Structure 1
Amino acid sequence: MSGTETVIADGGLVLRHRSDGHLELRANGIFVMDTRETSTEKALATRALELHSKPGQVLIGGLGLGFTLEAVLADPRVEAVTVVEIEPRLVEWMRAGRIPHGPDLLKDERVHIEVADVAVVLRESHAETYDVVLLDVDNGPGYLVHDANGALYEAPALADARRATSPGGTVVVWSAAEAPALLEVMAQVFDEAEAHSYPVDLQGHSETYWLYVGRLSAAGAPPRNGTN
């Protein structure tokens, strides 16, 4: 495709085919991700899967350009993946091949796509449904693309994620910047919480991205500090 081609959807979602041959996704004028630097999207999956001996059931909040999903599907232990994406046009682009690797990803029989708000899906999920929950729905609590997503980084939504996760499971949240307050809240909700930084090259600029990991004990103790 031409380097000048840009696809724009209602609501300010833009998929741009850049002159360097890479795709770039923007929402409301804010850079979300591209196909040049994908290590953090993949790390979101691989780090979480490494922490679980049997990650059979996985939920991914945020489809993006599909690289987290791709990394999850590469793990033969994964039996089923539910991807929750609030933007229907992004799912359409994937299915139609606007994102070239999209059709092959979505035709995998293990993949189930839900066009919905991941906060609602987690709140309405049956308890202990998923072994691993991966949340990559925004740029993190300090750089929100959509203000409404701020609630996903707070105790009630994280407690919903915990309730939907099986004992011994893992919830991993991606952030574009260090978020000490998020780590503090996750430490209140989960049995263990830790932060992992990752250096990246973002279009020629050195940046550091973060993964926030919440783990449940195998005993399945209830959320601490009264979060439920």
Structure 2
Amino acid sequence: MIVRFEELDWQPTPMGDLTLRRRIEPTLGVEVFEVKLGEEFLMSSLFTVAEEELAHLGLAATEGDELAVLVGGLGLGYTALAALADPRVHALTVVDALPTVIDWHQRGLLPTSSALTGDARTRLQADDFFALMRAEPTPDSPRYDAILVDIDHSPRHQLDPSHADLYTVSGLQALARHLQVGGIFALWSDDPPDDDFLASLGSVFVTSTAHVISFDNPLTGGASTNTVYVTTT
């Protein structure tokens, strides 16, 4: 007997109740993993193209070997796994504010979990990404060749109001201090390209580009789009 729906975990968090569930999508007959925060859907394993493109486009713009990469937002793990596919990545730190999400992967609950936790290059860190970016780097602080971020819905639509300062000029300047010279910052967004945000990026970084990522949506029978911003210092 096929179980159509299974709740794998439920935990209260400061931002709302976090739920991981597995179900069979009846229109496709495929297994789907989904994350909800309260009544809001955060992510689904049906739609991973743009999350993977965040890593592909960001690292394609990154020069050098033995790259140190920081991923803000672990989620279902697709951005981190795509980053590990680049053989130049020497060390991958993945930061998530919710220890529950890290625990899911350590328990092997998701399709990406074993590949992530079994790779010696990966370090999963329970921490506030936004607080880390605000902090003044010390001489011993790590500097990253690439910072890849997929946390909020978009620069205008955050999961928590405390995240908003990252998307300002001063917040982006603070983030840039954590990059190596010539490093890149890349950001996933659910919204179309935002001219005001591009202007803010352009005042901080040497180059900034908004890539529109189109992918098939099997639920609607059409196409959906996300945006990936890529900048260089």
Coarse TM-score class (shorter-chain normalised): 0.7 to 0.9
Structure 2: which amino acid aligns with 1:146? D
User: How far is 1:13 from its partner?
Assistant: 1.1
Deviation per residue, 1:133-187 (Å, 9 max, x gap): 1011111123322232222222222112211111111100111002222111111
Structure 1 distance, partners of 2:95, 2:185, is 15
Greater CA deviation, 99-108 or 171-180?
A: 99-108
Which of 72, 76, 89 aligns to 2:100? It is 89
Matched, 1:15 2:20: yes
Structure 2 distance, partners of 1:47, 1:195, is 11
1:224 maps to none
2:210 maps to 195
Alignment of 1:27-106 (within 5 A): 27-54=37-64, 56-106=67-117
Which of 195, 205, 210 aligns to 2:227? It is 210
Structure 1 distance, partners of 2:167, 2:22, is 31
Contact kept? 2:81, 2:112, Cα under 8 Å: no
Structure 2 distance, partners of 1:146, 1:207, is 25
Structure 2: which amino acid aligns with 1:200? F
Judged with a 3 Å threshold, the aligned counterparts in structure 2 of structure 1 residues 192 and 128 are, in CA distance, closer, same or farther, namely farther
**Percentage of matched positions with identical amino acids:** 30
Structure 2 distance, partners of 1:10, 1:203, is 31
1:5 maps to 6
User: How far is 1:203 from its partner?
Assistant: 5.1
Structure 1 distance, partners of 2:201, 2:119, is 32
Judged with a 3 Å threshold, the aligned counterparts in structure 2 of structure 1 residues 182 and 101 are, in CA distance, closer, same or farther, namely same
2:163 maps to 149
Normalising by structure 2, what TM-score? 0.86
Contact kept? 2:71, 2:147, Cα under 8 Å: yes
Deviation per residue, 1:8-30 (Å, 9 max, x gap): 21121111112221101122322
User: How far is 1:202 from its partner?
Assistant: 4.1
Structure 2 distance, partners of 1:104, 1:196, is 28
What runs of 5+ residues in structure 1 fail to find an aligned partner? 217-228
Structure 2 distance, partners of 1:215, 1:13, is 34
Structure 2 distance, partners of 1:14, 1:123, is 29
Q: Helix, strand or coil: the match of 2:172?
A: helix
Contact kept? 1:143, 1:176, Cα under 8 Å: no
Which of 191, 195, 203 aligns to 1:180? It is 195
Contact kept? 1:135, 1:174, Cα under 8 Å: yes
The count of aligned residue pairs is: 216
Structure 2: which amino acid aligns with 1:23? F
Structure 1 distance, partners of 2:109, 2:174, is 34
Judged with a 3 Å threshold, the aligned counterparts in structure 2 of structure 1 residues 201 and 152 are, in CA distance, closer, same or farther, namely farther
Aligned Cα root-mean-square deviation (Å): 1.8
What runs of 5+ residues in structure 2 fail to find an aligned partner? 26-30
Structure 2 distance, partners of 1:24, 1:194, is 30
